[in-house]
Structure 1
Amino acid sequence: MKYILHLITAACFLIAMPSSFAQGKKLEKANNNFDNYAFIDARKAYLEVAEDGFLSEELLMRLGDSYYFTADYVNAAKWYGSLYDFTDQPKPEYLFRYAQALKSSGQYKASDKIMEKFNTLSNVDKRASLFVNERNYLKEIEAQSGRFKLLPVTFNSKLSDFAPAFYAGSLVFASNRLEGRNTPNRIHEWNNQPFLDIYQLPLDNSEDKDVKKLNSKVNTKYHESTAVFTRNGQTMYFTRNNFTNKKYKEDTDGTNRLKMYKGVINEDGEWKITEIPFNSDEYSVAHPALSKDEKTLYFASDMPGGKGMSDLYKVSIEGDGFGTPVSLGDKINTEFRETFPFVSQDNKLYFASDGHPGLGGLDVFVTELNEEGTGEVFNIGRPVNSLKDDFTFIVNDASGIGYFASNRDGGMGDDDIYSFEKVEDVISACTQTVSGVVVDKNTREPIPNAKVVLMDPANQIIDQLIAGKDGSFTFPLDCNKAYCVRGSKLNYGFDEECFTSTAELELELNLSLELESLNAPKIGDDLNFLLDLLPIYFDLDKDFIRADAQLELQKVISFMKMYPKVKIDVRSHTDSRAPDVYNMDLSSRRNFNTIEYIVTRGGIDRSRLTGRGYGETRLTNHCSNGVQCDEGLHQLNRRSEFIIVE
């Protein structure tokens, strides 16, 4: 991409170069071209000097930059590689550009290696951590890919076409094409091509001959691009060089910045153009996008206080005025370039960035807009994204048809517009699923219509369902969160599995719940055997419910909820140690606390529970008064029974 992409940041890349080379005059002219962003002319001279063997760190930096700033990442990687070999301590910024150029050439492992080197040299720069410590972004991109089908278009030119926008049944876009120009072409020195204008093309049965310029109130002799329109077509916002009322202005360093303009159409179809009030001669404000309710304007800028080379901002539209611009924050903005925002009707923010992990150059990313601002950022994958620059993405959610621009190989011009059809919704939030099957523990056959409950670690129910005829179940999950899944069914026991979801996109966790078949409960059955309860023990001479006993009582509670008509008689026993009267009192207290736990913690109606303490009157073994027994035998007598009585 040759134009608006780089104009925001061009002033950041001026580097002084010694003039003591033997070919000083040639280099002086090349440096002058470079400093005026005439990279192609500068490149020719740099290459001649390099081929003559006059290499230096400064020459290699500028030669790499002359390709990098014109999006030729293959050659940029070549010359940044020469720079990397030439000096033992390359500047961190050039390590970052080298890594970006390698990534744009598909050399991901080499790119990560250089990023690690960059990370060690640049403690204050967060860019490397986005690539080195980030989620498995290549796996995420793979999961996201294939959600769009590319469609052919016929209206691209041999030069640059990008920034599509929907407007009144037509497509508006920026182009520096030679066709349709009524005035002599003015050449921009950046790449020796004409300046950009805004064009319009009817979408129904249109051909390239139907492409027309917007009127002269919008298009001037300098750059215009990236337009967005209100739904009623009466108002537009667009980007232009700092050229207002036929006055061309520069910043204090002599750079002509970008500004946003507002156009309102009158009854005669003429646009009245005014400048947005928060523009500046000292920094760029560009690439507008409108929120779904058209009350917020999103844009890109390199204004002071930003995080990177260009950041995304939003500002409220207040009648004919505007509020104060607000950064979209660290989830969106990085130390590099975030630009070209677009807000879809389903309230997703799409934008281009080379600061978030991607396939190469600029990639298109998406995030959810919400009350808190924005969610996590996700690369939308191939085929929209490629090894080159991919940007200015728009989509009609109703039809699924959209457009974007790219300078990928195989196009007609420098930048081309591509159309697509949405095949599947993009991932704009991290979600996972847990799926499984409920089976019989003994036969391994699926158990149909079992109840399955999704809970948090505190046993709070999040969701519940009835498993299918094949025993299957599925729950959606949030990422990086702990869960438990519990299965149950009439005439079966219970099974529970606990786990923690990860950060991997659309991961499906699989598990099975194994329920053991029970005979239909009948009067006289002890739940200790039906539910395979672990013994509910009490500490010696204590009556409180231990933590291990609470887990077993939860199973009793679940059983009583499954069989709402069952009534239980709770019988508490002690061993023979201590006086008989004391043991009777101790077992009564244990019995009371057991029943109280089931009622208060389990929500079971008290009328369904009876019970008493039996002290040492019903020992299970020979360990009566005066008989010498080890602790294990005495422990067997300190027990609770849960007998079905109705």
Structure 2
Amino acid sequence: MNPMKILLYPLSLLFCLGAYAQAINEVDEMYTSKAYAFAVEAYEKIIESGKANRTTLLNAADANYFVNNTEKAYTLYDKAFHSEGQLDSIHFFRYYQTLRGIREYKKADSLYVDRLRKSGEGLSAIYDYMREVEKFGQIESDSTLYTFALTNLDSNTQYSEFAPVIHGGHVIFSSSVPGAGKELYAWNNQPFLSLYKARVQENGSLKMEGFFLKNAGSGYHDATIAFHPGNNTVFFSSSNVKKGRLVLGSNHTNNFKLYSGELVDDRIIGKKEVFFNSNDYSIAHPFIDPSGEYLFFSSNMPGGYGMADIYYCRIYDDGSISPPTNAGPMVNSRGNDFFPHIYGGQLYFASNGHLGYGGLDLFKVKMDSIDDTGIQFTELKNLGPSINSPQDDFAIYFDPNKKNTGYVSSNRVNGKGDDDIYYFVATPPKCEKEIKGKVEDINSGLPIQDVRVTANDSLSRFVASTKTDSLGRYSLLVPCGIKGTLETFKAEYLPKSIYYSTSKESKKPLVIDFKLEKAEDRIVRDSVTGVEKIKIDPIYFEFDKWDITPQGAEELDKIMEILDYYPGMTIKIESHTDSRGSAAYNRTLSIKRAQSTRDYLYGKGLDKDRIESAHGFGESRPLIKCPYPDSCSEKEHAMNRRSDFIITKR
């Protein structure tokens, strides 16, 4: 695994490669110095000798994890996990990642849900993760995804080639291939990274032309660059070096810094740091959007959502940049989020925090709106198995001059080196339709933020999902010519489902709005008795009948919504008649109505132990008293013909 993919683990104090020792403390020094390629072999000998303790197991697992020995890392994490039945959060996440990397998705999901349950994060966190699992399981049937055909380039070597950027008929990329006069990097026993230049050929292949930006080199890692589309400004990342020596942060590691300058004849003029650089965190993977107005990058600076997040800055007309803004939780995850790239109004990036096939996966989000308040991102999607593998897939770059083609980096099996650059041709889906709308509280009329809106097809298969913004707005892309349901989820609110159908002809968005009701608003408490009832409109029965009417069915469906929302709730049903007819007849009629009501709920799938009783009280408990039958109107008699749903347990 190349260190530029993991901003959290840059250079530490360099390990002397000649000091190869077998004592545990000396091997631990290799590990602490991030000489992982050597530590792997040394730890293996200690483990074989039977002298490994839990710390040694975890260090050995980490060393294998960092050099991409996924199967071996899994074996060691698994052994450490089962030795005590738990891992700290960082090691658990790596253990979880290795499980996904060896395609043990169900085991990984089970462990993660169990971890959430024990952590006390609540049902909402578990539900969100299970929705991710459901989405992941339906990726391969997602007809809205592009299909990518990849070609491994002949220009790749046994070393690392990655992070391609198209500029002026060339591809500028990062590589550890020898020849730049740099030392070996003990992390993976390859030379430090440099920028290289290759000319793009007609079929997408690359013809090497040599080094790029020779005068801007740090002597250590020099990698990842962004070109401004309107002028000669570039942003690039390098190891933090001062007077030829590594600068260490407070945790004794050397981090990457982001620099800018003017590109003149492949040389940097006026190199300077961005003002928010720090010795204590890394900034890398710069990208400038096609308008030239925004600089994107990755960083593990404090205050993010996970290990490394994607940020953006506004680029002003005078070349200065704004303070960085975090791209938010639609983009950033609990893990690492890297290599931002914009194409066709969508932000593409790599992540190992969002649910994927293992390692880094490629994702995209829609850039829904851009204004003075920032950028609104919606509709996160994994790009699918045609481009993602159980290994690292990252640094996608679309060719702005040749539609739906470009380059991507991967260390997937059967490659030529550590990381390879692949040329791709992407075949788009046939047609997509936008469904959008707003979600409001049915009582207050106020917009509701963070409502999960999910589109399923007519067979209840997942199609797309998103969350509402601060104004209650949402937007989804679904295939043209399909039918299905839109479903909502928000803690405290009753879920709602609305049917949709997308046409093939109209290009106008399909607008569907939601009015949601809080579950507690559907429960009323008697101020005198303290008895709680489910609040619905009266269920009216026709005179002398106990059949459930369409109006009654609509109200009983509301009862089912509450019972579904509160899975531990039990009720009792009380049915009443008007005063016409004899008392004995009316009691018999009310019993039949209570039983009819109960049976309707059973027919909807309600467990029988959820209804404690279904009693009829005839005319003995009227809402409106009628001294004799003719003294009440038909409307008043109808109000007396009713059913109550009394909550006996929450």
How far apart are 1:75 and its partner, in Å? 1.1
Counterpart-to-counterpart distance in 1, 2:210 and 2:346: 31
For structure 1, the 5+ residue unaligned runs are 13-22, 437-471, 487-497, 501-536, 541-546, 552-627, 636-646
* Residue 474 (structure 1) shift: 5.7
1:593-612 correspondence to structure 2 within 5 Å: none
- Hey, what's the Cα distance between the residues in 2 that align with 1:260 and 1:96? 28
> Could you tell me which of 265, 282, 285 is aligned with 1:284?
282
1:34 is paired with a residue whose SS is: helix
Question: Do the aligned residues in 2 keep the contact of 1:336 with 1:355 (CA within 8 Å)?
Answer: yes
> Which has more radius of gyration?
1
How many angstroms does 1:308 deviate by? 1.2
Is 1:331 matched up with 2:330? yes
Q: Secondary structure at the match of 2:394?
A: strand
Aligned residue type for 2:378: G
Q: TM-score, normalised by structure 1?
A: 0.63
List alignment gaps of at least 5 residues for structure 2. Answer: 13-19, 370-374, 435-452, 460-479, 489-495, 502-511, 515-539, 544-549, 555-629, 638-650
Deviations 1:312-333 (CA, angstroms, capped at 9, x unpaired): 1111112221111111112222
Counterpart mapping for 1:353-392 below 5 A: 353-371=351-369, 373-392=376-395
Q: Give the alignment partner of residue 61 of structure 1, picking from 48, 51, 58.
A: 58
User: Is 1:45 aligned to 2:42, yes or no?
Assistant: yes
For the residues of structure 2 that align with 1:395 and 1:331, how far apart are their CA atoms?
Answer: 22
Partner of 1:193: 190
- 3-state SS of the aligned residue for 1:211? strand
1:256-280: CA deviation from partner (whole Å, max 9, x where unpaired) = 10111113123x5532122222111
How far did 1:219 drift? 3.1
Q: Is 2:158 the partner of 1:158? A: yes
Say if 1:169 and 1:88 are closer, same or farther in 2 by CA, change over 3 A. same
Structure 1 stretch displaced more, 305-314 or 119-128: 119-128
Residue 26 of structure 2 aligns to a residue whose secondary structure is helix
Q: Which residue of 2 aligns with 1:175?
A: 175
- 1:428 and 1:411, CA in 2 relative to 1: closer, same or farther beyond 3 A? farther
- Measure the CA separation in 2 of the matches of 1:95 and 1:269: 45
Instruction: Give, in whole Å, the separation in 1 of the partners of 2:205 and 2:481.
Output: 52
Q: Could you say if the C-alpha distance between residues 202 and 477 of structure 1 is closer, same or farther in structure 2, counting changes exceeding 3 Å?
A: farther
- Partner Cα separation in structure 1 for residue 174 and residue 499 of structure 2: 54
Deviation at 1:211? 3.3
CA contact (8 A) 2:348 2:396 kept: yes
Residue in 2 that maps onto 1:588: none
* Deviation sequence 1:550-570 (CA, Å, 0-9, x none): x9xxxxxxxxxxxxxxxxxxx
Paired letter, 1:171: V
Whole-Å Cα distance in 1 between the matches of residues 183 and 11 of structure 2? 22
* SS class of match (2:132): coil
SS of 2:6's equivalent in the other structure is helix
The superposition leaves residues 80-119 of structure 1 with CA deviations (integer Å, 9 ceiling, x where unpaired) of: 1111222233334323221210111111112112213322
CA positional deviation for 1:182: 5.4
Deviations 1:332-389 (A, max 9, x none): 2222111111111x11101111110000011011000122510031110112100001
AA aligned opposite 2:109: D
Name the amino acid aligned to 1:218.
A
Instruction: Tell me the amino acid that sits aligned with residue 343 of structure 1.
Output: I
State the superposition RMSD in angstroms. Answer: 4.1
Q: Residue 536 of structure 2 corresponds to which residue in structure 1?
A: none
Give the residue type in structure 1 aligned to 2:168.
A
Deviation, structure 1 residue 245? 6.5
1:394 to 375, 397, 406: 397
Helix, strand or coil: the match of 1:201?
strand
Contact 2:227 2:233 in 1 (8 A): yes
**Alignment partners' CA distance in 1, 2:426 and 2:217:** 32
Cα distance change on mapping 1:378 and 1:129 into 2, 3 Å:
same
Aligned residue in 2 for 1:102: 99
1:416 paired with 2:414, answer: no
- 1:216 paired to 2:214: yes
1:613 — aligned with what? Answer: none
Q: Could you list the per-position Cα deviations for residues 205-256 of structure 1 after superposition, in whole angstroms to 9, with x for gaps in the alignment?
A: 5876533111312333111112121224622212111136756322122211
The residue number in structure 2 matching 1:93 is 90
- 1:78 counterpart residue number: 75
AA partner of residue 396 (structure 1): D
Q: Does 1:202 align with 2:196?
A: no
The amino acid of 1:382's aligned partner reads: P
| Equivalent residue in structure 2 for 1:31, among 22, 28, 31 | 28
Shift of 1:139: 2.8
Q: Which has the higher strand share?
A: 2
1:274 corresponds to which residue? 272
Residue 252 of structure 1: SS of its match in structure 2?
coil
Equivalent pairs, count? 457
User: Retained in 1: the 8 A contact 2:214–2:267?
Assistant: no
Shift of 1:27: 0.9
- 1:300 partner letter: S
Show the 5 A alignment for 1:507-586. none
Partner of 1:405: 409
Change (3 A) 1:435 1:84: closer
CA-to-aligned-CA distance 1:109-156 (integer Å, 9 cap, x gap) = 121122133223434699977644525133342134661111342111
Give the residue type in structure 1 aligned to 2:338.
Answer: T
Per the alignment, in what secondary structure is the counterpart of residue 29 of structure 2?
helix
Q: Deviations for 1:515-571, whole angstroms, at most 9, x for unmatched residues?
A: xxxxxxxxxxxxxxxxxxxxxx9999xxxxxx979x9xxxxxxxxxxxxxxxxxxxx
The verdict on how the C-alpha distance between 1:211 and 1:129 changes in structure 2, with shifts beyond 3 A counting, is farther
In 1, Cα distance between equivalents of 2:414 and 2:420: 10
One-letter identity of the residue aligned with 2:331:
I
Relative distance call for 1:128 and 1:234 in structure 2 (3 A) is farther
Judged with a 3 Å threshold, the aligned counterparts in structure 2 of structure 1 residues 227 and 365 are, in CA distance, closer, same or farther, namely: same
Deviation at 1:410, TM superposition (A): 0.2
| Distance (whole Å) between structure 2 residues aligned to residue 58 and residue 434 of structure 1 | 49
User: Percent identity over the alignment?
Assistant: 27
Output the CA distance in 2 between the equivalents of 1:128 and 1:334.
15
CA distance in 2 between partners of 1:4 and 1:326 (Å):
22
- So what's the TM-score if we normalise by structure 2? 0.63
| 2:220 match: secondary structure | coil
Q: 1:135 to 1:102 in 2, by over 3 A?
A: closer
Please state whether the residue corresponding to 1:321 is helix, strand or coil: coil
